[in-house]
Chains A and B, each alone.
Chain A
């Protein structure tokens, strides 16, 4: 295993000469790019994972539990797939978009009318944004309900919470860009909510808008936030999020998953060193956790290539296919062009903010700042409040009945407020029956 970095020369190494160089040219170029051929052995699988830039984010081996579809439901990979899709479609849309109050709406019409694939790209971007909010939220539910935020994964949970907030903010800033009625009034309402924050609220609102009211300055600011600042922050935090999964010992799993077939816990072999009393460790012994091991005892892990890779590819393809299908059949909404004089009645935010809007209709401060602030703070503090290490790695573990009940209640309350805001509110935000 010591020669992992060293490339063995091919057995039929060409021996100079122009003709041989030419005939071997394609092969040589290929070998210079890909250090290893497609693996046909366990060692090959490890070397392929180690030496490829895109694969080395994976561990060489993953625990079988990681690959159980019903354990993770692939929600994390799904979020990342949607983020990639959003990045690609977003960059393409940027080629035709102008962040100007006089041009933005016309550009939307151009996308629909005269740009090849413009409609489907815009649909894909809009529906992916909706999907990302939903999937990131479901991913958080999965992590909570399996107790996966507990030690040593506390900080990755916090990063995940920040990523949820950034996802919402990215979606929010994207809403203004078409400069239609929904855009204008959603942003007017949203930035006014920010204005209710204590002490600095009005200053934040002014910084966000760049003016006293939503206008050209706000459009430009939201555009820069949407296409540069937020994607860069999300990319950085996603990288740390992924990196920490490995550093925190892989995905969470129940304690039984590490037992050997004979029912005994796995023993990591430590080789006793020389006479001075200092211990010498095998290289892999430094890797934390009971999972990577030295020796030939049977374990519960499988090679990441091809098992993990195929699972990820499957989730990725299904996600992209589903969103593409939706985008082919359903057009993204585009309302009337902005009319700063007449808000639509009722003026509704996108669905994932309607719960917030419903709360805000009771009290601007408590609905818009107080309650959401407490919710976010509690969410981030969860792993530092709940310190018991029991019930990790199992859905709805009995030991975690109280925590899970509290969380499900919290999630359901948010969903209920969203449903009320979406279906039960009519003109002047009066209660209406959808039936």
Chain B
């Protein structure tokens, strides 16, 4: 008993070092397991919409068009030979904004945007995103929602 007592003194034996290592190993294992579970829960592939898609031929959108493509949650704007695709996802909390004569309006919390997507009222913190437009080899217009562009960046047909 007395010998054990001697070894139990803190900082005075292999035992305290081993205890420390064991504790660190257990805590480390728990942390790694927790991290692995988080990684597991984060999907690598999603089943939702692709970020790059075709919206049709340029002729589908005559000059002066402001059409909301509801299923893609974007608005296609064409003025003369210039074309742009503006997101209709409200920057506030993700509702779909409606296209109105003066711009865009959100039904959820009353954010309002002008025709270029600048905030003119309501709680929205930033203007609507503009997405990169390009012409695919088959003549279709292609939108990439992973590539936002500066406001006012039109695609010249």
Query: In the assembled complex, which residues on chain B have CB atoms less than 8 Å from the CB atom of A363?
Result: 123, 125
| A216–B125 touching, CB < 8 Å | no
| B107–A345 touching, CB < 8 Å | yes
- Complex CA gap A195/B89 in Å reads 14
Smallest Cβ distance from B17 to chain A, in angstroms? Answer: 33
9 further contact pairs, Cβ within 8 A, besides A188-B93, A215-B48, A216-B47: A188-B94, A189-B108, A192-B94, A195-B94, A213-B48, A213-B94, A217-B48, A342-B70, A344-B107
Binding site for A on B (CB under 8 A): 38, 41-43, 46-49, 70-71, 92-96, 105-110, 122-123, 125
Query: In the assembled complex, which residues on chain A have CB atoms less than 8 Å from the CB atom of B95?
Result: 185, 188-189, 343, 347
| B123–A212 touching, CB < 8 Å | no
Among residues of B, the one whose C-beta sits closest to the C-beta of A212 is B48
| B108–A346 touching, CB < 8 Å | yes
Smallest Cβ distance from B125 to chain A, in angstroms? Answer: 6
Give chain A interface residues in 298-313, CB to chain B under 8 Å: none
> Main SS of chain B's interface residues?
loop
- Among A15-23, A158-166, A354-362, the stretch that binds chain B is A354-362
Give chain A interface residues in 312-364, CB to chain B under 8 Å: 340-347, 357, 360-364
Can you sample 30 A-B contacts with CB below 8 Å?
Answer: A185-B95, A188-B95, A192-B93, A193-B93, A207-B41, A210-B43, A211-B47, A211-B48, A212-B48, A213-B48, A217-B46, A217-B47, A341-B71, A341-B96, A342-B70, A342-B96, A343-B95, A343-B107, A343-B108, A344-B107, A346-B108, A347-B108, A360-B109, A361-B123, A362-B123, A367-B123, A427-B107, A428-B105, A429-B108, A429-B109
Among residues of B, the one whose C-beta sits closest to the C-beta of A347 is B108
Among residues of A, the one whose C-beta sits closest to the C-beta of B110 is A429
Smallest Cβ distance from B94 to chain A, in angstroms? Answer: 4
Q: Which of A195, A210, A357 contacts B109 (CB under 8 A)?
A: A357
- Complex CA gap A211/B51 in Å reads 12
Q: Which of B46, B71, B105, B123 contacts A211 (CB under 8 A)?
A: B46
Q: A189-B94, A193-B93, A215-B48 in contact; A346/B43 too (CB < 8 A)?
A: no
Query: In the assembled complex, which residues on chain A have CB atoms less than 8 Å from the CB atom of B49?
Result: 212-213
> Main SS of chain A's interface residues?
helix
Among residues of B, the one whose C-beta sits closest to the C-beta of A427 is B107
- Complex CA gap A14/B11 in Å reads 65
Smallest Cβ distance from B131 to chain A, in angstroms? Answer: 14
Query: In the assembled complex, which residues on chain B have CB atoms less than 8 Å from the CB atom of A206?
Result: 42
Q: Does any Cβ of B come within 8 Å of A430's Cβ?
A: yes
Smallest Cβ distance from B57 to chain A, in angstroms? Answer: 23
Query: In the assembled complex, which residues on chain A have CB atoms less than 8 Å from the CB atom of B107?
Result: 343-347, 427-428
Q: Does any Cβ of B come within 8 Å of A137's Cβ?
A: no
Q: A193-B93, A211-B46, A216-B47 in contact; A365/B125 too (CB < 8 A)?
A: yes
Smallest Cβ distance from B148 to chain A, in angstroms? Answer: 14
Smallest Cβ distance from B105 to chain A, in angstroms? Answer: 6
Query: In the assembled complex, which residues on chain B have CB atoms less than 8 Å from the CB atom of A361?
Result: 109-110, 122-123
Smallest Cβ distance from A180 to chain B, in angstroms? Answer: 16
Query: In the assembled complex, which residues on chain A have CB atoms less than 8 Å from the CB atom of B38?
Result: 207
Among residues of B, the one whose C-beta sits closest to the C-beta of A205 is B94
- Complex CA gap A361/B107 in Å reads 11
Smallest Cβ distance from A345 to chain B, in angstroms? Answer: 4
Give chain A interface residues in 188-220, CB to chain B under 8 Å: 188-189, 191-193, 195, 206-207, 210-213, 215-217
